[in-house]
Amino acid sequence: MEESVDLDVLWSQLESTDYVWVAIFIGVAIAPFFSAWKQKTSLALAMILSIMLVMFLRFFIDAVNIFGFGEIHLFAMIPVLATEPDQFHRFITAAWLHSNWLHVLSNIIVIGLVGVPLEQRLGGKRWLAVYFLGLIGGNLAWVAAHPNSYIPALGASGAAFGLLGAYMACWPNDEVEFPLLFFIRPWPIWIIVAVRLGLEVYQMYSIEAGTIGSTNVAHLAHVGGFFLAYALARPIAKGAPSSLDSTTTIGSSSSSESGAESIRNRAREKMGNLDKDPWMDSGKPLLAEAARILERLRAEGDELETRQAWLEELAEQTICPVCEGEVFTEINGEICRLKCSLSNTHIKWP
């Protein structure tokens, strides 16, 4: 989405209060991701919350109207500035700025309805990679087509189309609930893509042919985000919780259970071996209550939940065999491991 503004405020002209607002904007934007990382929750939902919080902050600043802070000038994608090294941040930060609430809604619908099931397929880190691929691909396409433009482009539409591109490349037959063709129902990803991307291409052609007037929607950014994520999604998806081209969909209620079980099975395969332990290898075998918990862990730790429960118990009863520091449980996805609180190299078990 484009928004016409004057370029009166740049980094060299900021005052000290402006830097405070820059810090506030960045803090508001990244806070949901710290929460998601700590609680091991969805990054797609964290992205939605982040975008909405930034929009609320902008709404507050505009309503108060006493700060004179120009966030669009500083963070939006302005093609003529894109090649300057101190302006590269715009390729990322533009995704947190939207022209209005309808613009926000159109993007978070895609991030929520398409992005969440895609994250279940890919896992959080891979999902974040394809999201930013779509975002960067959209901005690159827009800058390449309008290198001398001073008009800022904003929004996460390139990233949203990137999610569609990645999903199309890897699991085109998955069905997700989506508002399409005046109906909200489960649609295969390939149909959603055919309609949404087809409309974008048609509108681009109509603008070039002169059959419709000019628009403030950056259609080329949408297409650029889609195709870059589409091109690189399959290499990124290798090793993801769901295998490529899996026919087990996660859109309907019955298949959702199968998809979830498939993800759990992949997680079980990644659980470490319990036969050996770092305390025995270090010549400091566990004793008393810690030894009893280790035995129970080996006997009952073949399921994700029971393994986590016994590892948490063990963390309270033992110390690092290398430095004798505290041991804590780290959960990555559904995999739980013990780590040393002082050094990541001392213990990572199982």
Take residue 256 and report the two structure tokens written for it: 């959702």
Q: Give yes or no: residues 42 and 141 share one domain.
A: yes
Predicted local confidence at residue 6, as pLDDT: 44
Count how many domains the chain has: 2
The string over 80-111, giving b where at least 16 C-beta atoms fall within 10 Å of a residue's C-beta and e elsewhere, is: ebbeeeebeebbebbbbbbbeeebbebbbebb
Q: Is the dihedral of CA 97, 101, 107, 113 positive or negative?
A: positive
Predicted local confidence at residue 258, as pLDDT: 44
Is residue 138 included in any domain, yes or no? yes
Q: Give yes or no: residues 105 and 225 share one domain.
A: yes
The residue out of 242, 261, 280 marking a domain boundary is 261
Give me the CATH number covering residue 15: 1.20.1540.10
CA-wise closest residue to 91 among 47, 54, 138, 131: 138
Take residue 90 and report the two structure tokens written for it: 């715009």
Is residue 19 included in any domain, yes or no? yes
The residue out of 231, 261, 291 marking a domain boundary is 261
Query: What is the SS3 assignment for 328?
Result: strand
Q: Give yes or no: residues 219 and 300 share one domain.
A: no
CA-wise closest residue to 332 among 192, 173, 125: 125
Q: Give yes or no: residues 93 and 236 share one domain.
A: yes
Give me the half-sphere count of Cα atoms (radius 13 Å) on the Cβ side of residue 185.
5
Q: Give yes or no: residues 47 and 129 share one domain.
A: yes
Domain housing 165: 11-261
Q: What is the pLDDT of residues 83-139, one digit of tens each?
A: 888 888 899 999 999 888 898 999 999 999 999 999 989 999 999 999 999 999 999
| 330 strand-pairing partners | 337
Q: Give yes or no: residues 138 and 227 share one domain.
A: yes
Predicted local confidence at residue 65, as pLDDT: 61
Q: Give yes or no: residues 47 and 69 share one domain.
A: yes
Is residue 308 included in any domain, yes or no? yes
Q: Give yes or no: residues 74 and 136 share one domain.
A: yes
Is residue 74 included in any domain, yes or no? yes
Cα separation of the two ends of the chain: 48
Q: Give yes or no: residues 125 and 173 share one domain.
A: yes
| 329 strand-pairing partners | 338
Is residue 1 included in any domain, yes or no? no
Round to whole Å and give the CA distance between 43 and 116. Answer: 8
Token pair 């990644």 is found at 270
Is residue 5 included in any domain, yes or no? no
The residue out of 208, 226, 261 marking a domain boundary is 261
Predicted local confidence at residue 248, as pLDDT: 54
Q: Give yes or no: residues 249 and 140 share one domain.
A: yes
Is residue 23 included in any domain, yes or no? yes
pLDDT values of the chain reduced to their tens digit, one per residue, 350 residues: 544 444 444 666 667 777 788 888 899 999 999 998 888 889 999 999 999 999 998 888 777 765 555 777 788 898 988 888 888 889 999 999 988 889 899 999 999 999 999 998 999 999 999 999 999 999 999 999 888 888 888 999 999 999 999 999 999 999 999 998 888 899 999 999 999 999 898 888 887 776 665 666 788 899 999 999 999 999 999 888 888 876 654 544 334 444 455 566 666 777 888 988 999 999 999 999 999 999 999 998 888 888 888 999 999 999 999 999 999 988 876 788 899 988 888 988 98
Q: What is the pLDDT of residues 48-76, one digit of tens each?
A: 999 999 999 888 877 776 555 577 778 88
Q: Give yes or no: residues 223 and 89 share one domain.
A: yes
Predicted local confidence at residue 160, as pLDDT: 96
Predicted local confidence at residue 71, as pLDDT: 76
Is residue 6 included in any domain, yes or no? no
Predicted local confidence at residue 327, as pLDDT: 92
Q: Give yes or no: residues 192 and 301 share one domain.
A: no
